[in-house]
Structure 1
Amino acid sequence: MPVMGKLGKRRESDRRCDDEEEQLALTPSQPSKRQKKLLISTNDLLILPTKLCNWLRHKFVRPLHFTPPSSSSSSSSSSDLIPFGHNSSNSSGASGPGLSKYDAFISFRGADVRNSFLSHLYYHLHNLQKLAVYKDDVDLERGEQISPSLLLAIQRSDVYIVVLSPKYTDSPWCLEELEEILRCMKLHGRRVIPVFYGVDPSEVENQKLPSATAWRIRSWRAALSEVANLSGFDSQVIRPETKLIEEIVKAVFQAIHYSCSQMVKFPAYSASRGLVGVERQIEQLQALLCSDGRSNWTIGLWGMGGIGKTALAKAFFDLFSCRFEASYFFSNFTDTISGGPSLQPFGNLQNHLFSKLLGDGNGRAGGGAVSYGMAVHRLSRMKSLVVIDDVGNDVGEIGPLKDMLNGQYCNLFGPGSVIIMTGRNKQLLKNVCDHVYEVKGLDCEEASELFCLHAFRGESAQIEYLDMVERAIRYVDGNPLAITILGAHLFGRDLQFWDRELGALEDNPNSVVQNVLRRSYDGLSRVEKDIFLDLACFFPYWRHLKLVYIEEIMGLECGRVNLITNLVDKSLISINVDEGYIEMNSLLQDLGRYIVDEEWQIEKRSRLWRSQDLYYLFRENKGTESTEGILLLDNQGYKEHILLLQPDTFTRMKRLRFLIISNQASSLVLPKDGLNCLPNTLRILDWYSLTSKCLPSQFSAENLITLNMTNSQIEQLWEGDELDADLGNLKFLNLHGSESLRKLPDLSTAKKLKEIDLPFCTSLVELPSSILYLPKLESLNLWGCSSLKLENLEDYANSNPGPSTGHHDILPSLRELDLSYTPIQKVPNFITRLHILELQCLKCTKLTEFPVIPSLESFTLTRSLIKEVVELEKLTELKFLRLSDNEQLVLVSGDLSKLKSLEEIHLDDCSKLSSLPESSGILMRMESPIGLFKLSLQRCKSLARLPDSIGNLMNLGSLDLRCTAVKELPSSVVNIIRLSELILQECKSLACLPDTIHKLTNLNTLNLFGCVQLRNLPELPPSLKNLDAHGCNSLQTLSIGTVEKHDFSNIDWCFGQCWKLDPVVYNKLVDKFTQDSVRNYYRSSLLLPAKWGGESGDEEGHPWKW
Structure 2
Amino acid sequence: MGGVGKTTLAKACYQRVISTVEGIKYHFVGDINQRDAMETRMEEMITKLYSTLLSESNLTYDNLLFDERKRRLSHLRVFLVFDDVENLSQIERLLLGNHLSSTHLFAPGSRIILTTRNKMVVGNVGAKIYHVDCLSHIESLQLFQLHAFGESRPSDDLMGLSSRAVSYCQGCPLAIKVVGGALIGKSRDYWVSFLSDMRQIPTPEIRHVLMRSYNALGGKEIQSLFLDIACFFYGTNKSLVTKYSPAYHLLEVLIDKSLCTCVVERTRERIQVHALLRELAWSIVNDESIKLENPTRLNNLGDIQKLLTKKSLPSLQSQCPKVTRCPEIDSRELMILDLEQTPVRALPLAIYNIKEGGCLSLSGRHITCFPAISTSLDLLGLTFTLITEMNCYDDHQLGSLPRFSALELVANLQLKSLPKHLWSMVSRSLLIHYCPSIETLPEIFHPVTAIVELDQLTDLELPNNKRLKFLPCDIHKLAKLSYLNLSSCTKIKFLPELPPSLLTLCVSGCTLLQALPSNADKLRFKDLYFEDCPQLDPDLPQQVMLNFYDLAASDLHPKVFKHCNTIIIILSFKISIGGKLILKTLFMKTSLYYWF
Once the two structures are TM-superposed, the CA of residue 702 in structure 1 deviates from its matched residue by 4.3
Alignment of 1:705-854 (within 5 A): 705-712=405-412, 713-718=414-419, 720=420, 722=421, 725-727=424-426, 730-745=427-442, 748=448, 749-791=453-495, 793-794=496-497, 810-852=499-541, 854=544
**Aligned equivalents of 2:423 and 2:532: distance in 1?**
38
Give the 3 Å change call, closer, same or farther, for CA 98–877 of structure 1 in structure 2.
farther
Once the two structures are TM-superposed, the CA of residue 437 in structure 1 deviates from its matched residue by 8.2
Cα distance per residue 1:927-969 (max 9 Å; x no partner): xxxxxxx8348xxxxxxxxxxx99x86xx5xx3xxxxxxxxxx
Once the two structures are TM-superposed, the CA of residue 835 in structure 1 deviates from its matched residue by 2.2
Q: Is the 8 A contact 1:857 1:879 kept in 2?
A: yes
State the SS of the aligned residue for 1:188. Answer: coil
Cα distance per residue 1:400-453 (max 9 Å; x no partner): 3436999xx9xxxxxxxx922289xx76762379xx9848989xxxxxxxxxxx
Alignment of 1:252-401 (within 5 A): 258-260=111-113, 327-329=132-134, 350=137, 399-401=163-165
Paired residue type of 2:247: I
Q: Is the 8 A contact 1:625 1:652 kept in 2?
A: no
Give the 3 Å change call, closer, same or farther, for CA 611–837 of structure 1 in structure 2.
same
Partner of 2:338: 631
**Aligned equivalents of 1:865 and 1:841: distance in 2?**
10
- The reply to whether residue 661 of structure 1 matches residue 362 of structure 2 is yes
State the SS of the aligned residue for 1:607. Answer: strand
Paired residue type of 1:824: L
- The reply to whether residue 419 of structure 1 matches residue 173 of structure 2 is yes
**Aligned equivalents of 1:63 and 1:479: distance in 2?**
34
**Aligned equivalents of 2:163 and 2:283: distance in 1?**
25
Partner of 1:876: 567
- The reply to whether residue 678 of structure 1 matches residue 373 of structure 2 is yes
Once the two structures are TM-superposed, the CA of residue 737 in structure 1 deviates from its matched residue by 0.2
- The reply to whether residue 402 of structure 1 matches residue 166 of structure 2 is yes
Partner of 1:694: 390
Give the 3 Å change call, closer, same or farther, for CA 696–907 of structure 1 in structure 2.
same
Paired residue type of 1:419: P
Alignment of 1:524-539 (within 5 A): 539=230
**Aligned equivalents of 2:442 and 2:464: distance in 1?**
18
State the SS of the aligned residue for 2:163. Answer: helix
Q: Is the 8 A contact 2:490 2:509 kept in 1?
A: no
Q: Which has the larger radius of gyration?
A: 1
Paired residue type of 1:660: S
Give the 3 Å change call, closer, same or farther, for CA 538–599 of structure 1 in structure 2.
farther
Paired residue type of 1:825: Q
Q: Find 1:857's aligned residue among 542, 547, 551.
A: 547
Give the 3 Å change call, closer, same or farther, for CA 79–711 of structure 1 in structure 2.
farther
- The reply to whether residue 52 of structure 1 matches residue 17 of structure 2 is yes
**Aligned equivalents of 2:14 and 2:215: distance in 1?**
40
Give the 3 Å change call, closer, same or farther, for CA 775–746 of structure 1 in structure 2.
same
Q: Is the 8 A contact 1:705 1:732 kept in 2?
A: yes
Paired residue type of 1:715: K
Give the 3 Å change call, closer, same or farther, for CA 655–186 of structure 1 in structure 2.
closer
Give the 3 Å change call, closer, same or farther, for CA 768–397 of structure 1 in structure 2.
farther
Once the two structures are TM-superposed, the CA of residue 260 in structure 1 deviates from its matched residue by 1.1
- The reply to whether residue 188 of structure 1 matches residue 99 of structure 2 is yes
State the SS of the aligned residue for 2:454. Answer: coil
Aligned length: 450
Give the 3 Å change call, closer, same or farther, for CA 788–189 of structure 1 in structure 2.
closer
Paired residue type of 1:631: D
Once the two structures are TM-superposed, the CA of residue 644 in structure 1 deviates from its matched residue by 4.4
State the SS of the aligned residue for 2:174. Answer: strand
Once the two structures are TM-superposed, the CA of residue 625 in structure 1 deviates from its matched residue by 5.0
Q: TM-score, normalised by structure 1?
A: 0.33
State the SS of the aligned residue for 1:735. Answer: strand
Q: Find 1:431's aligned residue among 176, 183, 186.
A: 183
Cα distance per residue 1:1001-1039 (max 9 Å; x no partner): xxxxxxxxxxxxxxxxxxxxxxxxxxxxxxxxxxxxxxx
**Aligned equivalents of 1:628 and 1:820: distance in 2?**
39
Partner of 2:34: none
Paired residue type of 2:546: L
Once the two structures are TM-superposed, the CA of residue 841 in structure 1 deviates from its matched residue by 1.5
Partner of 1:615: 324
Once the two structures are TM-superposed, the CA of residue 735 in structure 1 deviates from its matched residue by 1.1
- Quote the sequence identity (%): 12
Q: TM-score, normalised by structure 2?
A: 0.57
**Aligned equivalents of 1:865 and 1:872: distance in 2?**
15
Q: Find 1:564's aligned residue among 224, 243, 247.
A: 247
Q: Is the 8 A contact 1:752 1:775 kept in 2?
A: yes
Give the 3 Å change call, closer, same or farther, for CA 565–440 of structure 1 in structure 2.
closer
Q: Is the 8 A contact 1:777 1:813 kept in 2?
A: yes
Paired residue type of 1:260: I
| Root mean square deviation of aligned Cα | 5.9
Structure 1: which 5+ residue stretches go unaligned? 1-45, 66-70, 81-87, 102-154, 159-183, 193-225, 232-250, 274-314, 316-320, 331-348, 355-375, 380-395, 410-417, 443-477, 490-516, 522-531, 557-562, 798-809, 881-903, 911-933, 938-948, 960-1106
Cα distance per residue 1:798-837 (max 9 Å; x no partner): xxxxxxxxxxxx3325135334324211222423432222
**Aligned equivalents of 2:181 and 2:20: distance in 1?**
33
Paired residue type of 1:543: Y
Paired residue type of 1:55: T
- The reply to whether residue 935 of structure 1 matches residue 593 of structure 2 is no
Cα distance per residue 1:167-214 (max 9 Å; x no partner): xxxxxxxxxxxxxxxxx999325479xxxxxxxxxxxxxxxxxxxxxx
Once the two structures are TM-superposed, the CA of residue 783 in structure 1 deviates from its matched residue by 0.8
**Aligned equivalents of 1:877 and 1:766: distance in 2?**
31
Q: Is the 8 A contact 1:625 1:655 kept in 2?
A: no
Alignment of 1:947-986 (within 5 A): 956=595, 959=596
State the SS of the aligned residue for 2:489. Answer: coil
Paired residue type of 2:548: S
Structure 2: which 5+ residue stretches go unaligned? 1-10, 27-45, 56-60, 74-79, 144-159, 186-202, 263-270, 290-295, 586-590
**Aligned equivalents of 1:191 and 1:97: distance in 2?**
20
**Aligned equivalents of 2:522 and 2:184: distance in 1?**
59
Q: Is the 8 A contact 2:336 2:354 kept in 1?
A: no
Once the two structures are TM-superposed, the CA of residue 683 in structure 1 deviates from its matched residue by 2.1
**Aligned equivalents of 1:550 and 1:733: distance in 2?**
19
**Aligned equivalents of 1:787 and 1:439: distance in 2?**
52
State the SS of the aligned residue for 2:433. Answer: coil
